[in-house]
Structure 1
Amino acid sequence: MENELTIKRFIDIRRGLGYTQAEFAALLGVSSTTADIERGRTKLSGKVVSELLKQFKINPLWLFGESEQQYLESSNTSVIPKVVTVDSSDNENMVLVNAKAAAGYPQNIQDTTWYRQLPAFDLPIPEFRNATYRGFQVEGDSMLPNLKPGEWVLAKAVEDIKDVNPNKIYVVVLQDSVMVKKIERPPNAQQLMLISLNENYPPYQIEPYQIQELWQVSSKITFGVDATTENGLLRQLQESMEDLKKQLKA
């Protein structure tokens, strides 16, 4: 019989990933369900331990209670761009990924033909030289007030996940989604926290190996610029309040 700590850790992995016993069994190549493993009736096979390592970077020593490090960071985990496009003069293009294209971006990240459907251009500004940049459209309101839905961010490719700055905003390309977030690494933790600027959205915890590409936001393209200042808005609000008071008195 497997020891209780190993069983508990196995169950914690499955629940943490959000799989049912049947779904987890299918992923690990176990017949029908992981129920017998979780009840301690069946020992963890070498194949299951191998799949946990290969698919989720689970440290086998941690699984068997001989280490406190749950995940093994894979040395070949790379966050650099998988495809770079160039123009007829061999200069790098800045590819634009709109919200609709972003839905298919993670699955097509290495497909050179897929990128041909995306608009691309060269921005002849010194700040955009000597590095790879990509444009992404912001979807949703999780980064308000800094980034509004529909705006575009222009972001520079990050070469190494260790270069992440907690004071910057990043486009994070995961295995199934594209997010615009701040990134923080809690002290003594393997995991990363994806932070929204809009406090209505809770932090989102990920493992480093889940990141396919990482882009640091350097600028944004905004629309609907007007001449109203914050002082102007405040004055309008004060005038509205005075009008309301007069109406109430009347």
Structure 2
Amino acid sequence: MNNVVSQRFIKCHNKLREEKRVRSSRQFALSLDYLPQSLSEILKGRRDVTIELLRKAIAKYKMNPVYIMTGDGPMFMTEETNQSFRVLTTIRSPNEEELIVHVPLPAHAVYAAELGDPSFIQDLPTYSLPDYKYKVGTHRSFDIPGDSMEPTLFEGDKVVCSFLEPTLWESGVKDNYAYVIVTRSDVVVRRVKNLIAESKELEVIADNNFYEPYKIPMSDLREIWYVRARITPFLPSPQNIQRYVQEEMQGLKETIQQQGKMINRLSGAIDRLGK
């Protein structure tokens, strides 16, 4: 008996046959450089579909990977969705734990331009984190480029992010939260204003006021990653900590003084009313 992923794959195959997008199962198999006999075993429930066969079917016939993996959404991607979607390559440890792939700053431009070549992703550094929340779903980390997110994030920091499925962009991207946004030419880290439902675009906003907000059309979006954690090599010096505490104490002192003046004025006003 096939697993559920193989069952959904078979449904997609049957739909292609019904719509005459492929003439036969043999033609379907050959178009994917796959043995027709092996495909027959999958269709009869004697074998499960392989990851490589899925990858080829998604690329050639635009099968919806969200439907294949979860059962949600349409069987096939629309042209609009396919313009911004690419197959996500993941890396697993020997015990089948999905690892976090790190994209260093020198690889950002290549990562944005890549069309999902697994060999490129496999050459990137990988690691794992002990927190359970990083064991569920697909995560990736990115170096922070430039100073656009200061004072929240600094160049040299890394952000650990969770992958947001393209079918969830319209409802899942939340205003004012930070995301790593992969376009057709760049990787940027910004807060966003979600305008997908209104005008099929995202407005991206830097924390550094020197940088003006701008809009990215949905057709240019490749991947969106929600920023969950920051890894920084920078620790505040004792002098900076002391100055920060002094500034906080001074601010608290001024607030207390202002409140004291307000209480005195209020007491005076009450006394005058009493007289």
Report the 3-state secondary structure (helix = DSSP H, G, I; strand = E; otherwise coil) of the residue aligned with 2:228.
Answer: strand
Given the alignment of the two structures, is residue 115 of structure 1 paired with residue 115 of structure 2, yes or no? no
Which among 135, 149, 166 is matched to residue 129 of structure 1? Answer: 135
Matches within 5 A, 1:1-250: 74-77=80-83, 82-159=88-165, 160-162=168-170, 163-186=172-195, 188-226=198-236, 227=238, 228=241, 231-232=244-245, 234=247
- One-letter identity of the residue aligned with 2:169: I
Which gives a bigger RCO, structure 1 or 2 (Cα 8 Å, sep 6+)? Answer: 1
1:80–1:214: 8 Å Cα contact kept in structure 2? no
The CA deviation at 1:191 is 2.4
Using a 3 Å threshold, how does the CA distance of structure 1 residues 137 and 75 change in structure 2: closer, same or farther?
closer
Write the distance in 1 (CA, Å) between the matches of 2:212 and 2:176.
Answer: 18
Write the distance in 2 (CA, Å) between the matches of 1:150 and 1:127.
Answer: 24
- One-letter identity of the residue aligned with 1:112: P
Write the distance in 1 (CA, Å) between the matches of 2:176 and 2:85.
Answer: 19
The CA deviation at 1:121 is 1.1
Q: Deviations over 1:148-203 (max 9, x none)?
A: 11100000000121110113100000001000011113483332211111111011
1:81–1:213: 8 Å Cα contact kept in structure 2? no
- One-letter identity of the residue aligned with 1:197: D
Looking at CA atoms only, which structure, 1 or 2, has the larger radius of gyration? 2
The CA deviation at 1:79 is 5.1
Normalised TM-score (structure 1): 0.60
1:94–1:132: 8 Å Cα contact kept in structure 2? yes
Stretches of 4+ aligned residues off by more than 4 angstroms = 77-81
Identity of aligned residues (%): 27
Write the distance in 2 (CA, Å) between the matches of 1:151 and 1:164.
Answer: 23
| Unaligned runs of at least 5 residues, structure 2 | 1-77, 251-275
Using a 3 Å threshold, how does the CA distance of structure 1 residues 146 and 223 change in structure 2: closer, same or farther?
same
CA RMSD of aligned residues (A): 2.6
